[in-house]
A = this chain, B = another copy of it.
Amino acid sequence: MQILRVNMKTKTTTREELPKEWELYGCRGLVAKVLLKEVPPACEPLGPFNKLVFANGPLAFPNVSSAGRFSAGGKSPLTGGIKEANSGGIAGLRLAGQGLRAVIIEGQPENREDLYVLHIGKDQINLDNAAEYRMMGIHELTQKLFARYGRDVSLTMIGPAGEMLMSSAAIINADQDGNPSRCCARGGLGAVMGSKGIKAVVVENGGFRQEIKDPGKFNETIKAYAELLRTSHQTSVAYPLYGTAGLISTINELGGMPSYAFRSGSFDQVDKITGEKLYELINERGGEGTPTHACMPGCLIRCSNVFAGRDGKKKVASFEYETIAMLGSNLGIGDFDAIAELNYLCNDYGIDTIEMGATLGVYMDLGLARFGDAAAAARLIREVGSGTLLGKVLGEGAAVTARIFKSLRAPVAKGQSIAAHEPRSIKGMSVTYATSPMGADHTAGVTTRAKVNQLDPNVQMELSRSTQVRMAAVDTLGVCLFVSTAGMKALLYLVEMLNAVYGTEHAAEFIDRLGKDVILTEREFNTRTGFNGYDDRMPEFMTYEAIPPHGAVSDIPEEHYRRFWDDEYWKI
């Protein structure tokens, strides 16, 4: 496999071999390796010395279920540290089809007004002028790019938020049906893409086939892996039927569903927005909606859905738990259509729905808009998308909004907003949010479904730590984290597949070793940026403001945050 390097100052591209020592690294892990090696940790995230890395994983084959994820990475303008964000869709597989494990975008156009489409084709790689797409929303852009480059390409895009370099800007991928709503959402990587003058990356469907050292073993393992995903409850029933929204009732009962700007962990209108309700509604409406949908070819889990409006037309795909909570319950909005409208707007402008939900929560909590007022929320998101002064402030996310409007209740860690797993009620999430080099990011280590007393502060550190290590490995292999819900066995199959493809002989412990290596690499980047571990902490208000229904505070003993990084544990 190769790396494509694109210099936006000189407008030149080069291909180079993927270093042998990075052969098994993809996505999050490859981002970490490239950043630590090539990016000055002190650099300005939106300046000429940051790099934007796109990567897929070492198992990005169309016949390996859920293994074609696509990562974006760089130094984050939101956290000031390392950031990787990944999504489904087809961009990961398209890159693999071009023989690419990664694309590294460097430098900046001399003229900051220049805007390009990076077009990666079979025989040529071009930077096409994208002036005509300036400030174009994602939905219209998707249509224009398919019309220009053909329906078979992958699209990786930014909306107006990314062009305006906002810290809440996401990178949006289209899925296999052309729905542009698979988001590399967090950390403001859309702004990094904007700072490189790239509006979209278009990758043609190439014919590259990676060599497989032991095809027989590979195919055999794929079968066993598929069988596991087809029979495990979570991957074969829960996710396909209800998607991530299926979690809502459970999380709400745990007191983990952020409501009214993190003032409650259970939502008084929850009955209107459960996963079961969503399933019914989608089926009832029919039209373009469907409760079960795969974002990439070959995925057996198909957690995605297509949510149609009252007119039966597609509105968002997929309609996810984090969005439903952060733009719904967290804003006091208990109405699927209203939330979907906010989701649609965020998708169109290219905005992270988690950060925006937290931000609007801060704003409403100060009394500057009314909880439950979906029209006000939509108006505010439009301010962001059109870059008014208020929009510029909100577009920087919850921490900056709290600073400008003087709230002590910014729900952030390392400058990034906490996601929809309330860390006072689900205390393992306090550890994940506080310690992850990614800033507050639930995907770094979700402990919500672990079989522990979620309210016991003393058992969370080890739980979060081992979960984070496992997730870092899964994210590095470019595999969907939902695969891990099928148990350790699923991960062992992944190791076997690696062995079959690359001729390695790794055992189960490889997962652990890989995850630790990646997190340590990220942490080293952050250390050189200026983080020292004392910044591994929860927002102060969560340490003294008890949240209903359990009256819990974030009370993981300080010393646990320090012990998290014990050398002994992290030895590889």
Contacts and interface: CB of A to CB of B under 8 A. Distances in A.
Interface string A423-443: 000000000000000000000
Interface in A363-422: 389-390, 392-393, 396, 400, 403-406, 408
Given A396-B403, A400-B400, A408 B46 contact: yes
A403 B41 CA distance: 18
Lowest 7 CB-CB distances: which A-B pairs, in order? A530-B535, A532-B532, A530-B534, A44-B540, A165-B406, A47-B408, A392-B404
Interface in A241-297: none
Contacts of A531: 530, 532
Interface size grouping (class) on chain A: 20 to 34
A164 B406 contact: yes
Interface of A: 41-44, 46-47, 49, 164-165, 167, 389-390, 392-393, 396, 400, 403-406, 408, 527-535, 537, 540-541
23 contacts: A43-B540, A44-B541, A46-B406, A47-B408, A47-B540, A47-B541, A49-B540, A164-B406, A167-B403, A389-B389, A389-B404, A393-B393, A393-B404, A396-B403, A396-B404, A400-B403, A529-B534, A529-B535, A530-B532, A530-B533, A530-B534, A530-B535, A531-B532
A28 to B, nearest CB: 23
The oligomer's copy count stands at: 2
Contacts of A393: 389, 393, 404
Classify the interface of chain A: helix, strand, loop or mixed: loop
Nearest to A540: B44
Contact of A537 (B42, B49, B389, B404): B42
B42 A534 contact: yes
A44 B409 CA distance: 10
A473 B535 CA distance: 30
A392 B41 CA distance: 30
Contacts of A541: 44, 47
Nearest to A534: B530
Nearest to A49: B540
Contacts of A49: 540
